[in-house]
Amino acid sequence: MSWKPVAEKLARYLPEVRKPLRRLGLGERLAWTAIVLILYTLMGHTMLYGVPQASRLAGQSPLIMSIIFAQRMGTLTTLGIGPIVTAGLILQLLVGAQLIKLDLSKPEDRATFTAMNKLLTIIVILVEAAVFTVSGMLGRLGPETQLIVFVQLVAATMLIVFMDELIQKGWGLGSGVSLFIAAGVAEAIFTNLFSPIMLPDGYYQGIILALVQAGFKGGTFGDLLYRGRFPDVMGLIATTALLILIIYLESLRIEVPIQHARISGYVARYPIKFLYVSNIPVIFASVVFTNIYFFSTMIWSRLNPANQNPMLNLIGTFNATQYGPVPLGGLAYYVTSPGTIANAVTDPIRAIVYSLIMIGFCIVFAKFWVEVGGLSPYHVADQLVKAGMQIPGFRRAPSIIARLLQRYIKVLTILGAVIVALIAIFGDYFNVYGGGIGILLMTGILYQYYELLIRERMLEMYPLLGRMLGES
């Protein structure tokens, strides 16, 4: 029996969110989007039952995945959207590499892809929930408590899957995954700016409130210039500068002149983004780094808790703290960001090795994604030829157009990968609010929502346009 019918048959028994019977208005979809967002935010502040140090673990994850996976350690969103993103990336890579034969332009194959994606997501949920429960990342738990925590993680993450599905099925706007990422980064930025929590140094946690407080108290603003892992003036300056830089980089394009092969006088330009592969490489690299960290933690907690096994020490050595395992050496240590500029200066070898590994992985994944993601010069050239376009002054052949495009795409692929890697690295080092890659992700997501809102508004104002586009 072929695997396709098996996947489709299994998918029939999985619960799903039904599409609305009619196309909802923009106001209704915004309301559903807001409800889902509020529910996810509340889950991110609801501690797991049975984890004694949950209040300390919440929000303390040093990994970049807390941004990409919109997770808060110790809460119902401990796994966040990690299983959804991981399953989707794995399946996309398998399909792009032709290891799984699916033509996503066909409705039946798209349905099969969706069914397989949901099945794989559930498998990843079960695996990750088990890893978090038994690895010691949530503290040392007894057998009964482990079962309780495992059930909570599975149930909460399945609810997140359904909320994402609800958004995508037409009840809300955009994608639940994108919405949760943007909301998590925005919440982190807002907290760093306006949190009223009083810190041991006598100032508020929020840097804006702390600056106002310093002004009224007649204190020196130098006290707020650097505060370690807490919001400070250096982080405020770095966040503002990085936001401006990202907006500028996102707007950069290399425009290749094209014209229609049969309609004389029709001249246009094909834009190639400067950040050609966007943030995909750093997401892939972060997935690899996090899986190394997770599984090395599990191996350490079960087989090497005293850090006395020389072979296992190569994978990772840890120190058990109230905040969970902290890497001390091995591979896990060097694929984890130092976190702050002070830590980077204290251990420059770790900072340099981490940076080089991140940049190297981003370049490799960028090249791989260009090939399997339909972004290679040949794929682009083939699409232009099929659309009846050609580059002025050159013969209308995919091989010739691909050779011309390769001059730009090859350079931009590597350069873009290095830039997004540096954004992620220095975003951590200079205490950027929400993380460097978080700012990059949020900027792109908010721009997509801006375009989506304009499109939805246009469809409401001009119903005929919606019927022409098949949106009614």
DSSP annotation string for 365-408? HHHHHHHHTT-SHHHHHHHHHHTTEE-TTS-S-HHHHHHHHHHH
Burial class of residue 210, CB neighbours in 10 A (0-12, 13-18, 19+): buried
* Confidence at residue 419, expressed as pLDDT on a 0 to 100 scale: 92
Are residues 157 and 16 located together in one domain of the fold?
Answer: yes
Examine the pLDDT at 471 and tell me if it is beyond 60.
no
Examine the pLDDT at 414 and tell me if it is beyond 90.
yes
In a domain, 192, yes or no: no
Are residues 10 and 92 located together in one domain of the fold?
Answer: yes
**Residue written as tokens 């029996």?**
1
State the pLDDT confidence band at 323, using cuts at 50, 70 and 90.
Answer: low
Domain containing 157 equals 3-174
Strand order in the sheet with 253-260: 267-273, 253-260, 389-390
In a domain, 259, yes or no: yes
Q: What is the pLDDT of residues 378-395, one digit of tens each?
A: 888 888 887 777 777 777
> What letter represents residue 407's amino acid?
R
Top-ranked range on mean pLDDT: pick from 1-15, 24-38, 395-409: 24-38
Are residues 34 and 124 located together in one domain of the fold?
Answer: yes
Q: What is the pLDDT of residues 64-123, one digit of tens each?
A: 667 778 888 888 998 888 888 888 878 877 776 677 777 666 777 777 778 888 888 999
Q: Which of 23-27, 331-335, 416-420 has the lowest mean pLDDT?
A: 23-27
Share of the chain above pLDDT 90, in %: 17
State the pLDDT confidence band at 54, using cuts at 50, 70 and 90.
Answer: very low
CATH code for the domain of 104:
1.10.3370.10
Domain count, the chain: 2
Number of alpha carbons in the 13 Å side-chain half-sphere of residue 331: 17
In a domain, 221, yes or no: no
Are residues 271 and 368 located together in one domain of the fold?
Answer: yes
- 11 vs 200, more confident: 200
Are residues 161 and 259 located together in one domain of the fold?
Answer: no
State the pLDDT confidence band at 246, using cuts at 50, 70 and 90.
Answer: confident
* Confidence at residue 466, expressed as pLDDT on a 0 to 100 scale: 54
Are residues 24 and 133 located together in one domain of the fold?
Answer: yes
Examine the pLDDT at 150 and tell me if it is beyond 90.
yes
Are residues 291 and 410 located together in one domain of the fold?
Answer: yes
Q: Are strands 324-329 and 253-260 parallel, antiparallel or unpaired?
A: unpaired
* Confidence at residue 379, expressed as pLDDT on a 0 to 100 scale: 85
